[in-house]
Amino acid sequence: MLENSADVRAPDIEVALPDGVDLHARPAGNVARTAMRFKSHIMLVDGACEANAKSVLSVMALGLRGGSVVRLRADGADAVAALEAVRACIVRLE
Residue 5 forms part of a structural domain: no
The helix/strand/coil state of 45 is strand
Is 24 catalytic? The answer is yes
pLDDT tens readout for residues 36-50: 999 999 999 999 999
Residue 4 forms part of a structural domain: no
pLDDT for residue 2 is more than 70: no
Residue 82 forms part of a structural domain: yes
Residue 27 forms part of a structural domain: yes
Please tell me the number of Cα atoms within 13 Å of 36 on its side-chain side: 10
Number of domains in the chain: 1
Residue 6 forms part of a structural domain: no
Please state, in angstroms and rounded to a whole number, the distance separating the CA atoms of residues 88 and 50. Answer: 19
Span 74-83, average pLDDT: 97
- Structural domain span for residue 17: 13-91
pLDDT for residue 7 is more than 90: no
pLDDT for residue 28 is more than 50: yes
Q: For residue 53, give the CATH number of its domain.
A: 3.30.1340.10
Exactly one of 24, 33, 65, 92 is catalytic; name it: 24
Residue 58 forms part of a structural domain: yes
Alpha helices, DSSP H, located in 1-94:
25-35, 56-61, 79-91
Find residue 4's DSSP bridge partners: none
Please state, in angstroms and rounded to a whole number, the distance separating the CA atoms of residues 57 and 3. Answer: 31
